[in-house]
Amino acid sequence: MSIPLAPNNSPFRDFTPEWTFSASRSSGPGGQNVNKVSSKIELRFHIMDSKLLSESEKEILTEKLANKINNEGFLVLTCQTSRSQLANKEEVIEKFYALITKALKPRKKRVPTKPGKGSIERKLKEKKMVAEKKQRRQKPDEE
């Protein structure tokens, strides 16, 4: 198995020199493997110190990924789904690129539209029915 760099369809550079990995014991079921092997992988990436990102990209990432950034300014991602450290490392790298790609994708502008003829008619019909229902609740006028 080889560790993937940037996905083929990704416009990103190779962030490998800017990542810091640490391994620790994974939680959850797994028998003796959990007690002996450090298979949980934590990827740390300091956004502001990155030489590959522009200033505007750094601002966007710090704003959109604020809940994943710790007090020291590191983007922290973890993976412990597999029993293999290498598989977890590959998965956390894929997760990193997916997260960066999604965060930097520009938001589509909403095009305001007018309500259609049918929806206006339905709204007016509904209003008329409610008005008639309330009218029937009234006591008849006695003269």
Q: What is the largest CA-CA distance in the chain?
A: 93
Q: Which domain holds residue 18?
A: 1-138
Number of domains into which the chain is organized: 1
Task: Read off the tokens for 46.
Answer: 């300091």
Asked whether residue 143 is assigned to any structural domain, the reply reads no
What pLDDT tens digit does each residue of the chain (143 aa) get? 444 444 444 455 777 777 777 777 666 666 666 666 677 888 888 888 888 888 888 888 888 888 888 888 888 888 887 777 788 888 888 988 888 888 888 888 999 999 999 999 999 999 999 999 999 998 877 65
pLDDT of residue 36: 66
For residues 111 and 98, what is the distance between their CA atoms, to the nearest angstrom?
A: 27
In 10 A of CB 17, how many CB atoms? Answer: 7
Task: Read off the tokens for 142.
Answer: 């006695």
Residue bearing tokens 């007090």: 71
* CATH code at position 130: 3.30.160.20
Residue bearing tokens 């550079």: 13
Task: Read off the tokens for 141.
Answer: 């006028």
∠ CA 55-10-71, nearest 5°, is: 45
pLDDT of residue 120: 95
Asked whether residue 23 is assigned to any structural domain, the reply reads yes
Q: What is the pTM of this model?
A: 0.61
Q: Helices in the chain by DSSP H: which ranges?
A: 32-36, 55-64, 85-104, 117-137
Asked whether residue 57 is assigned to any structural domain, the reply reads yes
CB 85 within 8 A of CB 37: yes
pLDDT of residue 33: 62
Asked whether residue 117 is assigned to any structural domain, the reply reads yes
pLDDT of residue 114: 92
Beta bridge partner(s), residue 69: 75
Asked whether residue 74 is assigned to any structural domain, the reply reads yes
pLDDT of residue 34: 61
